[in-house]
Structure 1
């Protein structure tokens, strides 16, 4: 009964862990009304390196008293040109101005603004802009949503007119520039949007002059601001390639001396351009539009250094790191993919020559030193991505040759990690390096997530704030590496215990990984947690041996679906502004706009599949496994037969990585990151298991191990001739409950010796699996005691004396060699 209930109990446990991790959310205070007026002042291209007490004294004082942050200016096009930035500000969602543009360039900056009555203005191109964003772009953005949410708005300057224009093109109140006394204009409506100019170019002197002119205009705005008002200053866009992080400052009641953040970023000191519109409405106490903004209202958090110079240096340094990350990341993954492909090619002849042949004809084994060097290279390859993640603890981006500094730091960390694995106890065993690498990988990524994922933000193997996709938690590469390390660690640990406990060990280790990935406090990736749940369920189902039967697959599928449905139900019960990605997608499906999300996801999958170097890693790893490691000479099939928990971990990793990539719009990136760790370890373990194929046990006393250690656990282990999991064992490919074949030795009670295996067919055992040993050579047959009183109680059959059998041989038989 317990065996029948075990799958159901494990499924319930996985579901409970998954739903608990996904449903719990950090407390989010509802933004309260803090102002009667809001003034949004935009300066295209303004970065924190342009702000100093001499050139921008007004902005410096404003940053001293208010809250600051780094602004990601992502829009529907890249780069975000000034007109795209203003349009995105007014839409509260990713938008872009229609019109032709060169590759990586911006359209002409001129925007037609008509003033038929001298009070307001009209944008004649607004209708075509709305159609372009609604029909041609995948976001379904409605330009002018911010101005539609208030009764009256003011625009100063052409850029501000783009942001303040309603969907039909009308600007309520418009002025081409600030009047001599702007008090009446800024106080005429609750929302004012002001274009303060542009800071452009790479010449430091020219940028300083432009910043000084914009700061002088800002001083006039602050002098004329209405009472009880919130002033938001933002570097509204890029002005050229490449993209950069920009200035965001909020000054008003309730925004004193803090970091700006929002629920869309989840990280202190970071804000998105699409967050400004909901921030303005929340500060005014106005309801959000029916079609939700993509952005979330900003809030001010504590923890900012008291020294303003030190506080400003943090976002400025983040901008430099993000810029360096963009140039180094592509080269790193391209080089990693190339090196791993070359290493896979180098492993092929070693696999061919690894297994000893009984006959005189056969390839000679590779020299032991060559095999040892290749094994260390495989360990180094598997540790490269975790080492690159750890390298971001060193400020390599501040040097003149940042790429070379990063390469040197990563190489040192890879060498240190490889040495640690090499000298770890148990390295000589088949699964020694496998377990060490998996544990080290899980430890590095897990500790980073538990401490706020600081190494992944703007990291080479993390995610960039410039891309605007993620600002906290686990990124695509981090998710792939972490789920691979967690499931492989679970498989290695499960192999160390009796097979009846293996599913529980897999669930315990993998369940913790699901909590880390899915918790909004930690990994903040609900889609990744659902995919990991599916992979964990598959791994737990087959960790005790046997095939992935229909019933086991059904339990695994039920667990993944139950986690997804449970989280969806909890997420849909939250207020609309607090829902996660899954809840917002289901809401969009309900109101008929879910097609935009599906289109965006499919487009992202295709672009990533075609352009990412991780696709090469995933495909190369799959080809190596299918056409080499899984062949009879490859050793992986033999490894699977001897170590069923390892087979389960690898199968679960493949399921979780592929499913997570498809659902998360990352194509094969997650699978490629997982393959960077899994495939080298699978190749190394295959080399080891082939090298141990002809090992023999050395009898020492009674039961023995092939490594010379005494073994008293009896038959019934996992191996080709054992009663457990193996090619001919009762728990091998024929299934955990399949009867033992006639050729295998019967399982005896603990400490007793059953019938020895056939001396002509030595059996292999797992040299580093003390829980279930196997014999590789015929053991001496058990001797029946001469005294009947010393006989084994299990031997109940009577002893019958027989005369010795006479054997007669012919002369020909005697002469035969």
Structure 2
């Protein structure tokens, strides 16, 4: 049996490692460079709305363009307008200071009675350009200290350095009752579009965001709408230049209609929205008539969306109709706001910076009804997000009843007492059931189908586990836990199709990740791996160690390899946890030296994966490449900053992290001092089953601690681990 286990583990490891030398990503065509780029912003537009609206110009563009969904999420929520445009201009997720109100002004406007050119000269020491974003100093400071570290104005500075012109034509001011010849109230400014193409000084050299872009219309949202004649006049002035240029035009009637929906009746809100789509489509049609398809590119993008998934379309010379993707998403049909900056830079023939999150758009071939496919994916993402809370509640209730049943087993009828073990096995089977359900079209959107698929898989896992036990005694828990490990590993190797919009996968609307392993799946996968190692030791003792080591190494590769899981936080947690698990199973007395060594091993593996990623073609590299390059180049400050920002994303602030760390060290020191003298710890370090208990305790504790710190899902990681851990603890207590 030991040889069989070792051989099996070696085969699994060999297969997984062999995958690392092959880039499994489907071929995608790069986007050729052009002379001019027109960026059209269509706030709050979804594919469903576009299909059902009267929008012939946008519809015709979509037929000829490469299209996709753009994630409009920044951090834990959908981006506000300023965050969205700042992100598109920085190439990295950006934040805004608390006092930001989207205040960008033309040079001839006034702010608080003071001329803008005077304000700009006083604040920057430079003469004014056409447009000035006034909160540039506070915004730069906020991003310098944010979890993402965006450098605002990056796109504008790069275009300037290359001699590429830039201009913005936008005004989404939204307030009722103020005269058109007076400045609107501070909360009414909606000119954040300027931040996409501004430089680090907060200025845009051409274009306009002035009030003259709006015209009074009592039937429009807030009583004002864009004046298409004025917009086109301003556009013609900047588009007619000889040299290369990038021009952003915002269809701001869409933004005003969305903002006004809360004030109107539902029926009136729908009418205002439909009219905004119609007028915006007419404007887009006029703009497209001025574009030369042979030399110009058109990028239509939704910067903000209530669902956090918006429309994106790219039409450019040599770009065939297909689905957009990028190296940052690695998923056909999906890009992020941060990718917009890299794409614009790439379109004008420049190299995107290596230190930004975004990557240029690529085009993957796709047949059939592409818009319908994107609509269905967006619907599935919304259903998943609404479904997650009640699924977690149902699982929590079920596990609570299971634990209660085991605790009061002596009071249960004999039949129900015998059923506890199959129920615990089925509880583990719920996990693969949720992922299988993500691959069944009906189960993605219909509750009854979802419950049926999950229940069927859970029962099948329990039945298969008990059937295996008829041949090999006490193996049922291993089979059940192995179903989690094997299904997750195979799914990741195949490109993670079952992770997409799965209950414990990643929602494409949340969009912290588009491929590989998400944080919740990591929690289940890694916990199941630790449990499987412990259960194997329960069954075969030290004879299972070779296979256990092979299993854990394979799990690390699946979780962290750049072409597979690409999970930095996962590797930071799994490697130290697995090292301590193996040491405990070998009955080594674990001390601080071992713990520090395990942490060092985790760091080394992350660097190794990063260097492996850096060796891939530039278009295929992930965030791991930058992390590995920083570590290999001795830029440990950048490495520490990356990990610190992940921790900040989980806990909210650096002060909270330090407080938790200090308390944790005190608790650990006290516990170590007390346990070192206790007979119980001595017993746990003896041979036999006790070493498995120690291994399970170390493995779960380290996974929970580092998984919480190194990922950005906070308490969700250890909470999700319990879904596997609780049934395993129950099964280890119940007799076979």
TM-score range, shorter chain: 0.7 to 0.9
Query: Structure 1 residue 178 and structure 2 residue 178: aligned?
Result: no
Q: Which moved more, 1:22-31 or 1:514-523?
A: 22-31
Residue number in structure 1 paired with 2:152: 143
Residue number in structure 2 paired with 1:675: 722
Contact conserved, 1:492 with 1:646, CA < 8 A, in 2? no
Q: Which secondary structure does the structure 2 equivalent of 1:315 belong to?
A: helix
Cα gap change, 1:467 to 1:639, in 2 (>3 Å): farther
Q: Per-residue deviation at 1:313?
A: 0.9
Contact conserved, 2:610 with 2:626, CA < 8 A, in 1? no
Contact conserved, 1:495 with 1:646, CA < 8 A, in 2? no
Residue number in structure 2 paired with 1:426: 470
Larger Rg, first or second structure (1 or 2): 1
Cα gap change, 1:273 to 1:640, in 2 (>3 Å): farther
Residue number in structure 1 paired with 2:563: 521
Residue number in structure 1 paired with 2:405: 346
Q: Aligned runs of 1:202-601 on 2, under 5 Å?
A: 204-226=270-292, 227-238=294-305, 242-288=306-352, 292-302=355-365, 304-305=366-367, 307=368, 310-350=369-409, 367-396=413-442, 402-403=446-447, 406-426=450-470, 429=473, 431-493=474-536, 499=542, 501-543=543-585, 548=590, 559-568=601-610, 580-581=622-623, 584-585=626-627, 587=630, 590=635, 597-601=642-646
> In 2, distance between residues paired with 1:581 and 1:568?
8
Q: Which secondary structure does the structure 2 equivalent of 1:137 belong to?
A: coil
Q: TM-score, normalised by structure 2?
A: 0.74
> In 2, distance between residues paired with 1:638 and 1:434?
24
Query: Structure 1 residue 60 and structure 2 residue 115: aligned?
Result: no
> In 2, distance between residues paired with 1:378 and 1:638?
28
> In 1, distance between residues paired with 2:412 and 2:537?
32
Structure 2: gaps spanning 5 or more residues: 1-9, 110-116, 118-126, 172-190, 214-229, 657-677
> In 2, distance between residues paired with 1:534 and 1:65?
51
Q: Per-residue deviation at 1:279?
A: 0.4
> In 1, distance between residues paired with 2:510 and 2:282?
32
Q: Deviations over 1:141-163 (max 9, x none)?
A: 23322111113202122344332
Residue number in structure 2 paired with 1:813: none
Residue number in structure 1 paired with 2:197: 164
Residue number in structure 1 paired with 2:71: 72
> In 2, distance between residues paired with 1:213 and 1:313?
24
Q: Deviations over 1:426-455 (max 9, x none)?
A: 3994x3331121122223323322332222
Query: Structure 1 residue 114 and structure 2 residue 107: aligned?
Result: yes
> In 2, distance between residues paired with 1:502 and 1:425?
18
> In 2, distance between residues paired with 1:330 and 1:382?
19
Q: Which secondary structure does the structure 1 equivalent of 2:167 belong to?
A: strand
Contact conserved, 1:531 with 1:656, CA < 8 A, in 2? yes
Q: Per-residue deviation at 1:70?
A: 0.5
> In 2, distance between residues paired with 1:370 and 1:406?
27
> In 2, distance between residues paired with 1:120 and 1:435?
68
Cα gap change, 1:427 to 1:186, in 2 (>3 Å): farther
Cα gap change, 1:385 to 1:395, in 2 (>3 Å): same
Q: Which secondary structure does the structure 2 equivalent of 1:149 belong to?
A: helix
Contact conserved, 2:300 with 2:311, CA < 8 A, in 1? yes
Contact conserved, 2:94 with 2:143, CA < 8 A, in 1? no
Q: Per-residue deviation at 1:649?
A: 6.0
Residue number in structure 2 paired with 1:730: none
Q: Which moved more, 1:195-204 or 1:316-325?
A: 195-204
Q: Per-residue deviation at 1:205?
A: 4.5
Q: Per-residue deviation at 1:312?
A: 0.5
> In 2, distance between residues paired with 1:258 and 1:349?
59
Q: Which secondary structure does the structure 2 equivalent of 1:83 belong to?
A: helix
Structure 1: gaps spanning 5 or more residues: 1-11, 101-106, 354-364, 612-630, 690-817
> In 1, distance between residues paired with 2:571 and 2:20?
8
> In 1, distance between residues paired with 2:581 and 2:77?
42
Greater share of residues in helix: 2
Contact conserved, 2:13 with 2:553, CA < 8 A, in 1? no
Residue number in structure 2 paired with 1:703: none
Residue number in structure 1 paired with 2:711: 664
Contact conserved, 1:322 with 1:464, CA < 8 A, in 2? yes
Residue number in structure 2 paired with 1:688: 735
Q: TM-score, normalised by structure 1?
A: 0.67
Q: Per-residue deviation at 1:515?
A: 2.3
Aligned-residue RMSD, C-alpha: 4.2
Q: Per-residue deviation at 1:457?
A: 1.6
> In 2, distance between residues paired with 1:486 and 1:77?
29
> In 2, distance between residues paired with 1:40 and 1:129?
27
> In 1, distance between residues paired with 2:594 and 2:277?
65
Q: Deviations over 1:45-100 (max 9, x none)?
A: 11101223872222222222221111101236843233332232222222244445
Cα gap change, 1:119 to 1:445, in 2 (>3 Å): same
Q: Which secondary structure does the structure 1 equivalent of 2:60 belong to?
A: helix
Cα gap change, 1:502 to 1:215, in 2 (>3 Å): same
Cα gap change, 1:339 to 1:136, in 2 (>3 Å): same
Q: Larger relative CO (CA 8 A, sep 6+): 1 or 2?
A: 2
Q: Deviations over 1:579-606 (max 9, x none)?
A: 6545535739839566753443222222
Cα gap change, 1:639 to 1:373, in 2 (>3 Å): farther
> In 1, distance between residues paired with 2:355 and 2:588?
50
Contact conserved, 1:92 with 1:276, CA < 8 A, in 2? yes
> In 1, distance between residues paired with 2:302 and 2:270?
17
